[in-house]
Every structure is written in C-alpha cells, then in structure tokens.
Chain A
Amino acid sequence: MLLSPELTALLYLVAAVCFILALKGLGSPKTARRGNLIGAFGAVLAMVVVFLSTELDNVALILGVIAVGTIIAVPASRMVKMTQMPQLVALFNGVGGGAAALVALLELQHSTTIGAFIAVAFTLLIGSISFSGSVITFLKLQELMPTRPIVFPGQALVIVLLLVVGLASAVIIVLDDAVLVGLGLAGAKTVAAIVALLVGLVLGVLLVLPVGGADVPIVISLLNAGTGLAVAASGLVLSNTLLLVAGTLVGASGSILTREMAKAMGRSVTGTLFGAFRGGSTAGSTAVSDRPVRSSSAEDVAILLGYAQRIIVVPGYGLAVAQAQHTMAELATTLEAKGIEVVFGIHPVAGRMPGHLNVLLAEANVPYEVLAEMDEVNPQFKNADVALVVGANDVVNPAAKTSPGSPIYGMPILDVAAARQVVFLKRSMRPGFAGIENDLLYEPQTTLLFGDAKDSLTKVLTAVKNL
C-alpha cells in the first residue's frame, strides 16, 4: 500500500525543514555537526518516502545502484585529504548537476505544461554546464591540467554561438507540439533536448578553462549555486516540492557565498569568469625587485616569537601547499605553553576554497576559538608584537589600500602592517598570485625567512623549544 499524497507531502515538508536546519546549524561550530546530521536524516527520510509513496518498478535494481553509489562515495569522502577537499566538493557538485540534467532529459516525454518545458530546458543547460564545468575544475585543482587560464583564439565567439544554439533548442523544447508540426519540426523536441545537453557540456568546459587557479574558489561556489537551481527546476518538472525547496535553498546560499567570495577578493563575478578574455585579469609583473630586504635565520625568528606577548598568525595558501598545518599547530601550542597569546587571522579567501584554511587548521586540532575572521582580527594587529605571515602574500599587501592603480586595489586585506614586527615565511621573493610586489616586505619592521613553509616552521619550532 502506498502512502497517501497528504502524508507524503507532510513528510517531504519535514525533510525540507531538516535541510533548513542543516544550513542554520552552520551558524556556529558548536551546532554545525548536529545540523549536518539532521540534514542527513532529512535525506534518508525523503528516500524512504519516495519508495513508499510512488508506484515504482525495478526497485531491486535501483536499490542496488544506490548501494554501489554509497560504496563509491563513502570511502572517497573518508579518505580524501583535507587539502584536496575543493576537488572532492567540485566532483560531488558535478555528478549532482549531471543527475539533474539526465532526470530532465527523461522527464521531457512526461511534461505537458509550458512551465514544465521551460524547467526542462533550464535544467538540461545548467545541469550539464555544472557537470562539465565541475569536471574541469576538478582537473585544474588536481593539477591534471594546467591551472593557468586557457584561452584560444575565437573562444568568446564559440561561446556566443553555443549560447545561441542552446537558446534555440530551449525554444524548441518549450514550443507547443502543434506549432512544431506547423513548422515541420514534429518530434524535434527529443533532438533539441539532446542538443541542449551537449551544448551545456561544451559550454561548461569553455567557461571554466579561462579561469585562473586563484579564482577557482569563486567558480566552485558558482557551479554549486547552478546545480542547486537545476535541482529546483527539476522539482518543477516533477511537481516535487522537496526538490524545489532544497534546490532553491542551495541556489540562494551558493549565490550569496559566490558574491561574498568575489567581494573578499576584490573581484567581480563576471570579471572572474570573463577576465581572461579581456586579458590581464590575472596578469601582472613577475619582475623581482632588487631592493634590500632583511632576511633572517630560523633562530632569530624563534627569538622574536619566543619573547613576544601577542602573536597573530596569518596562514595562506603556501601553508596548505606545504602541508604545514600540523607543524604550524604544534608551534602555536608550544608558544601558548610559554604563556604567549596566539591567534590565527584568516582571510576569507585564503586557501583554495572559501574557508579552506579553517578546515586545515581544524584538522590539525587548532581550536576554533583562536581562528579569527578578518573583521575580528584587524583591530588586534596594533596590539600584536609579531604578525607571522606563513605562505600568504596578496591578502596582506597594503597596495590593496594605498595604490589605486594596483590590480588588487579595493580587496579587503589583513592589516599586518600595524603589528610591531612582521615575519614572512616565504618560498622566494616572487610576488604572489596577483603578480604585484608587496611593499611591506621592504619595511624596516619586516623580517623574512625563506624556504618551504613546512621546513621553515619545523626549524623555527625546534629553535623555539630550545629557547
């Protein structure tokens, strides 16, 4: 016996509320895990309900495939390194978008209303863009392909042509059958749907290729929002309110996050996507200045740190690349044991996805209370004895405030220049990703320690212990 439509709707409502609570739980690290478990409960509930409320054939087969998917997904999620989290999120996002596009393709024949046809066309295009775009993002992050922006001559023109073809097939999908017969296009809907799917796939590739490595966080977030909206639209196709609500929630949250990321990088979302076409979005001078800097030894840095009272650590992508989060955490604990106050000031776009550095430091058992957001930590720099910048550059570059001509002008930065002493752990004098020189490196209060972040931190840690 099947569940009644009323009970089904009611249980879907419960699942939708669970999803809202899952997002709400993320308001604080204390409630986040419970929230996520509530969300997972909502998902399980929804799955039970769909099997109990719908007339389904092939149930054993479907359950078998779900089991296979679970067997693939669980070990992948359990074993992935935290530094590889952005890739995994991109991949999960991609398969979700792909699933939405396939569902829309198959639902085309059952659709009757104009609204449903519009939703099918939308899901086909956006879902397949999400799929292939996420795959390219994954390949870039996994460094299976070059991370630099890839542009070929005529790329913009090809994208425009594809958009035209995509829109044309969307129109055919939406048009009434009678009109199509009149135009001599009877039965063209299925062909148009497949064309839309293929156009979406190629568009996803072409749109993500020109995005440079540092802008990838924004793109993951944008594609996430896209998949959400595609799922919401497939909710319209299937008249399923749960899909509609869940997809819309994700679409809305992804849009907000994308905007915040872009703001934190001082970039516009369109600039991120299309900047490479205009040239110069990620370009900059790679010239190395020969002005004198104060380079120092690990022992000297250890003395600076060991005799400070307040230290603010500013970790950047270099810390993640060097896998130095555990050494960094140990250094912080060692310093705290000496009665020194250590706080981590984290720029919103440090790492390879929004909030990535927070996850890496959390993995290394740094308590979340000492992970401070930018707005919270900036007023504290003037009271800090040492600002220790590990593998970060652009996010502490005062040029973002002082030189209007600079490509990063307007980007919010961490105010490390206000600290009494600034210590940079850097691999070399090469400018950061934006390719702009950092004047702070030449200031008298600045000390530099060159080398791989992990090596440098290990040496500093040993020296601090020997103080």
Chain B
Amino acid sequence: MDAITLLTFFVLSVFVGFEVVSKVSSTLHTPLMSGANAIHGIILVGAVIVAGQAESTLVLVVALVAVLMATINLVGGFVVTDRMLTMFGGRPKAPAREEAAQ
C-alpha cells in the first residue's frame, strides 16, 4: 500500500480517536483504559503473520513469544473490561438482562 494512503488512514484515525474518546465520561475512564488496552492487543494479527512466515527456528520462537504476549493482551483486556462493565449496574428497578455470554 502506498505511503499516502497509509498516512490518510493514520490522520483520519487520529481524529476519530480524539472525537470518540472526548465524549467518554470520567466515570468510565478505567474501563476506557482497559478497553483501549485490549484493542492494541490486535498486534496479535501481526504476530501470527510473522510466526506463520518464519523461515528459521529462532525467528519462529521469537514470533511465538510475541503471539503469546499479544494473546494475553487481547484476551485479558477484553475479558477484564467486560467484567468491570458488568459491575456498572443502574438502579435495581431495571433488572440486568441475563446475557447468553457462554
């Protein structure tokens, strides 16, 4: 992909990021941090590509370490954010719907 297209993606994403996050209330700043944290765990995609195209054992081992680290970031991030957000219940008059999470 050419540099200008990538730059376009980058600049537009910066604005979307600023726009979306400036509307988050400070009540939810901890879940915001852990949610954003989960999102950068998507580096797992990169780690998988590198591991799957490894040409030597050394490269494969290092890449698998990256896969492991990225998985912990991605999976752990989303799970812990979900756990936190289930705690933010409203007034009991609206009973929380049981979601079929499993």
Interface residues, chain A, with chain B CB atoms under 8 Å away: 15, 19-20, 22-24, 26-30, 32-33, 35-37, 39-40, 43, 46-47, 50-51, 54-59, 61-62, 65-66, 68-70, 72-74, 76-78, 80, 82, 85, 88-89, 92-93, 95-96, 98-100, 102-103, 105-107, 113, 115, 220-221, 224, 227-228, 231-232, 234-254, 256-257, 260, 346, 348, 353-356, 358-359, 362-363, 365, 367-369, 371, 373-374
**B residues near A51, Cβ cutoff 8 Å:** 48
Find out whether the CB atom of A253 lies under 8 angstroms from the CB atom of B32: yes
Q: Given contacts A36-B82, A236-B6, A253-B32, are A69 and B72 in contact (CB under 8 A)?
A: yes
Q: Which of B28-76 contact A (CB under 8 A)?
A: 28-54, 59-60, 62-76
**B residues near A80, Cβ cutoff 8 Å:** 80
Q: How far is the CA of A77 from the CA of B27 in the complex (A)?
A: 21
Find out whether the CB atom of A106 lies under 8 angstroms from the CB atom of B38: no
Nearest CB in chain B: distance from A8 CB, A: 11
Q: How far is the CA of A65 from the CA of B63 in the complex (A)?
A: 10
Find out whether the CB atom of A76 lies under 8 angstroms from the CB atom of B76: yes
Q: Given contacts A30-B90, A85-B84, A355-B31, are A102 and B78 in contact (CB under 8 A)?
A: no
**A residues near B69, Cβ cutoff 8 Å:** 69, 95-96, 98-99, 102
Find out whether the CB atom of A373 lies under 8 angstroms from the CB atom of B25: yes
Which residue of chain B has the shortest Cβ distance to A353 in the bound complex? B30
* Of the residues B6, B45, B76, contact of A46 by C-beta under 8 Å: B45
Q: Given contacts A85-B30, A252-B18, are A96 and B40 in contact (CB under 8 A)?
A: yes
User: Beyond the given A56-B51, A354-B29, could you list 14 further A-B residue pairs with CB under 8 A, ordered by the A residue number?
Assistant: A23-B17, A26-B31, A33-B86, A39-B39, A51-B48, A55-B53, A69-B71, A76-B72, A96-B70, A241-B1, A243-B42, A355-B33, A358-B27, A373-B25
How many pairs, one residue from A and one from B, have CB atoms within 8 Å of each other in the complex?
361
5 A-B pairs in the complex with CB atoms less than 8 angstroms apart: A27-B25, A73-B76, A74-B75, A244-B6, A249-B13
Q: How far is the CA of A254 from the CA of B67 in the complex (A)?
A: 23
Q: How far is the CA of A239 from the CA of B90 in the complex (A)?
A: 43
Q: Given contacts A77-B76, A244-B13, are A359 and B46 in contact (CB under 8 A)?
A: no
Q: Given contacts A27-B24, A88-B80, A354-B26, are A65 and B40 in contact (CB under 8 A)?
A: no
Q: What bracket does the count of chain B residues touching chain A fall in?
A: 35 or more
Which residue of chain A has the shortest Cβ distance to B26 in the bound complex? A348
Find out whether the CB atom of B42 lies under 8 angstroms from the CB atom of A69: no
Q: How far is the CA of A452 from the CA of B3 in the complex (A)?
A: 59
Q: How far is the CA of A224 from the CA of B52 in the complex (A)?
A: 27
